[in-house]
Structure 1
Amino acid sequence: MFVLDAYGQPLDPCHPARARRLLAAGRAVVARHTPFVIRLRDRAAANSTMQGAQVGIDPGSRHTGIAVFAERDANRTGLYSIQLDHRGGAIRDKLTVRSQYRRRRRSKNLRYRAPRFLNRTKPKGWLAPSLKHRVDTTMSWVSRLTRWAPITAVHVEKVAFDTHTLSAGRPLEGVEYQQGTLYGYEAREYLLAKWSRKCAYCGATDTPLNIDHIHPRSRGGSDRISNLCVACIGCNQAKNATSVEVFLADRPKVLARVLAQAKTPLRDAAAVNSTRWTLWWALTGTGLSVATSSGGRTKWNRSRTGAPKAHTLDALHVGDLDTVSAWPHTVLVVTATGRGTYARTRTDKYGFPRLALPRTKTIRGFQTGDLVRAIVPSGKKAGVHTGRVAIRSTGSFNIRTRNGLVQGIHHRHVGLLQRADGYGYATHPETRHCAAFPPGSEEPGFHTGGNR
């Protein structure tokens, strides 16, 4: 749990059991509901000895993993795990709809407008709103974590895949990548993600996959990433040095799919690579120590510690480390939901306004998206309901809880827990152990890891 001193300055995080004892003894109060933050009444940061914490970031196109951990002598202990779900797809769809509305108005000559075609330019470093959103939300949570914990350093994957290792004839700089322990990890991980971890020819899953040349090298094929795929052992041996056109002659649909998918870049990797420099510059602007690493190094670290694949565990394994002793068993899933809309109307399929919304967003002191707890004493809806509220002008609200939607809760039964901040919160268990670490071997509240 995150801990603040009496003046709101961050202290070292503590175990949930200790936080409960401090709250029960009256030495602490709740400063924030989600993520849970307590504030001590009788301690100042100036009188405390702190070890500090660090943040690991695994940027992704749809999900970004964030891990808060303590590190001592290259041994990391996970303290808090966050999976940040982006809404770049929703932003792209809304911009597409808006452009369609505008295109119709221009073509219909509904009003005079000076012609604009090629006279609009974009500044250097411009990112599409759906991409900039990924950087903004990641930086927002890094800023929040620095307010709740004594963060001293940030470790981030600068690229999803090291493009140097994916191009033939372009050796990496530095002794570490010269046919060293990371050799081959970048290309293999890229191909597994691109082909969805299944055989390109038969679609087999949960089986060992080999890297195969679509056009064999003996027939003039290159080692470029666009000429590689993953294939199961049976298909790889059956194809051998045969041309892909001959091997799939009796399956023309599969042949067309393989050739098309080989030329298609990995879209998620392209989105991450487009934002890597912007995110790095933003992180360096925080004044924290920023260390970068590649996705291949992260996978290599996980293979050494025996950790399973997960966004938050990838964030915990970013950069230079020797061992990982433990990680939290619960992940906070933070979904970017936005803060509503400025528009006070709803349009039909033709773009004409048909439904007028209330001109004010606050009803009885609540706004849609606030985290509330409703205690209903009697009736069909009697009980305690905790979740996100949807306000109504009548004062009868709807609350979406973990168990579903509860409608028609009167505002007098509703109490505010936390203001809407543009994010939705949920939790799920962290990925279980590999076979080397049975479930009974962990400390309560944490998964244990170690070297293989």
Structure 2
Amino acid sequence: MSAFVLDRSGRPLMPCSEKRARLLLARGRARVHRVMPFVIRLADRMADSSALQPLRIRFDPGSKVTGVALVREAGSGIAVINLFELIHRGRQISEALTARKSFRRRRRGANLRYRSPRFLNRRRPEGWLPPSLRHRVDTTMAWVQRIRRWAPIRALSSELVRFDLQQLENPEISGVGYQRGTLAGYAIREYLLEKWKRTCIYCDAKGRPLQIEHLTSRARCGSNRVGNLGLACSDCNQEKGALDVRAYVKDPKRLARILATASQPLRDAAAVNATRWALIDALRATGLPLELASGGRTKFNRISHGLPKTHALDAVCVGQVEAIAGWERPSLSVEASGRGSYQRTRLTRHGFPRGYLMRHKRVQGFQTGDRVRADVPNGKKAGIHVGRVAVRATGSFNIQTASAVVQGISHRHCRLIQRGDGYAYSLQSVDSYRQGDAGVWRAAHAALSLPGLEPGVSRAFG
């Protein structure tokens, strides 16, 4: 990843390569300002506005992961500088609020009737969103402000995602019951690709063109509802024919998994719909020029330039793109982990308190969420472990590394790298982009030669 650069007074300069950052640090011309993401501060230079080039942040909003790309506009194309993937925790927030509500209900009914009643007569402000959805907007905007402090951002680009839930649930709906306009086939195909993890539901094949499959075939009066749709490779689709999925799939575990996944509610699509305009309004409030683009344009750009399917690279392809350079770099995974909780006890399955948690957040100068480096000289856990620490009152910590959790590391072996800021960081290797995708890209490039393929037109590629 490129290193962010600040001048002597803390104003952002153009990011530089890792090699140049190492040279500046070795020669004493810079100091480490932040480790993850890596930011340096120059000791002998002030900002020069004439030497700054236009940088743009591109977004690919999602319900669980939002792709963010920092790019430099060079002529008719763009050069990728840094890639990020923001992993939201909306589901954890929703579950925590539901649990808190049940605990409070039990306390109010357990001989605590002296509590004064509170009626639901409070009005919600305009534009109110549930905390689990507001979190997605706030996390994205928090990283917009962070990147603006570290780099000279001149413009923003975002994908305006729209799922028509009426059409997804009932493609035959019409008349008065249909209120949200028509739905392009892109939304259904993209929703199915995300729902089924871009694999064939019958043979788990990856890296092949996938076709939309009716679990209960049309010949047996199956509908076009999204709950009756899956993805299958051409071989499995032809072999199944007009059979029902219950007659074709012999493995009971696979059949149960297919039926359970097919009946899942449209939570992700609803979350994207609910937050898309709130995010756009927040981006416009920054005062920077904002470019909005459709999902069809994003997919057309990704296929035409032969990029793998990731959230960060989808963000690179948002909007008008003529040429892309420098995309083969690792992306920084930023997972929202929170800053702890106020809960001081564990609870049984009946909601009664069990045991006590620590009263102090810091132990031996460390706090859960800090990024540390542990140099263990000997024993079963000998070696160097770098990651997010979880403290214990005994001084024996757990360290969450990129690959596993290392338990029982003494605080004496730990050295602080960066204080916790509510996020867990890890680098996604670029090698995974190149494995097993050759067939997909050959099929994609072959499809681009078909007549009539314009930006916004969707193809059902894996």
Shorter-chain TM band: 0.7 to 0.9
In the TM superposition, residue 322 of structure 1 has moved relative to its aligned partner by 1.1
Match of 2:186 in 1: 185
Number of residue equivalences: 423
Counterpart of 2:101 (choices 86, 99, 109) is 99
Amino acid at match of 1:67: A
Task: Give yes or no for contact 2:56–2:71 (8 Å, CA) kept in 1.
Answer: yes
CA change 1:391–1:205 in 2 (3 A) is: closer
Match of 1:2 in 2: 4
In the TM superposition, residue 238 of structure 1 has moved relative to its aligned partner by 7.6
| Counterparts of 1:299 and 1:320, CA distance in 2 | 12
String of CA shifts for 1:409-431, please: whole Å, max 9, x gaps. 245x5432211101111112134
* 2:302 aligned counterpart, secondary structure: helix
The answer to whether residue 146 in structure 2 is matched with residue 144 in structure 1 is yes
The answer to whether residue 112 in structure 2 is matched with residue 110 in structure 1 is yes
Task: Give yes or no for contact 2:293–2:318 (8 Å, CA) kept in 1.
Answer: yes
| Counterparts of 1:205 and 1:286, CA distance in 2 | 44
Amino acid at match of 1:119: N
| Counterparts of 1:95 and 1:199, CA distance in 2 | 36
Match of 1:365 in 2: 365
Superposition RMSD in Å: 4.0
Amino acid at match of 1:407: G
Overall identity of the aligned pairs, in %: 52
Match of 2:433 in 1: 432
Runs of at least 5 residues in structure 2 that lack an aligned partner in the other structure: 175-182, 442-447, 450-462
**Pairing of 1:7-406 with structure 2 (within 5 A):** 7-46=9-48, 49-116=51-118, 118-159=120-161, 161=163, 184-197=185-198, 205-206=205-206, 208-211=209-212, 230=231, 232-233=233-234, 250=247, 266-375=266-375, 384-393=384-393, 397-402=397-402, 404-405=405-406
CA change 1:27–1:235 in 2 (3 A) is: closer
| Counterparts of 1:369 and 1:220, CA distance in 2 | 54
Task: Give yes or no for contact 1:372–1:388 (8 Å, CA) kept in 2.
Answer: yes
Match of 1:409 in 2: 410
String of CA shifts for 1:193-223, please: whole Å, max 9, x gaps. 34554567x5664454434678988999987
CA change 1:348–1:212 in 2 (3 A) is: closer
Task: Give yes or no for contact 1:372–1:389 (8 Å, CA) kept in 2.
Answer: yes
Please state which structure has a larger fraction of its residues in strand: 1
| Counterparts of 2:81 and 2:255, CA distance in 1 | 48
* 2:319 aligned counterpart, secondary structure: coil
CA change 1:25–1:352 in 2 (3 A) is: same
| Counterparts of 2:37 and 2:57, CA distance in 1 | 16
CA change 1:323–1:415 in 2 (3 A) is: same
Structure 1 stretch 384-393 or stretch 416-425: which is displaced more? 384-393
In the TM superposition, residue 366 of structure 1 has moved relative to its aligned partner by 2.8
String of CA shifts for 1:82-120, please: whole Å, max 9, x gaps. 111111121122112112212222343433234456535
* 1:315 aligned counterpart, secondary structure: helix
Task: Give yes or no for contact 2:67–2:85 (8 Å, CA) kept in 1.
Answer: yes
Given the two structures, how large is their TM-score scaled by the length of structure 1? 0.79
CA change 1:2–1:417 in 2 (3 A) is: same
Task: Give yes or no for contact 2:240–2:248 (8 Å, CA) kept in 1.
Answer: no
In the TM superposition, residue 58 of structure 1 has moved relative to its aligned partner by 1.1
* 2:326 aligned counterpart, secondary structure: strand
* 2:359 aligned counterpart, secondary structure: coil
Task: Give yes or no for contact 1:165–1:186 (8 Å, CA) kept in 2.
Answer: no
In the TM superposition, residue 370 of structure 1 has moved relative to its aligned partner by 1.5
Amino acid at match of 1:326: G
Amino acid at match of 2:110: K
| Counterparts of 1:249 and 1:346, CA distance in 2 | 43
| Counterparts of 1:71 and 1:168, CA distance in 2 | 44
Task: Give yes or no for contact 1:306–1:436 (8 Å, CA) kept in 2.
Answer: no
CA change 1:6–1:437 in 2 (3 A) is: farther
* 1:145 aligned counterpart, secondary structure: helix
Task: Give yes or no for contact 1:399–1:409 (8 Å, CA) kept in 2.
Answer: no
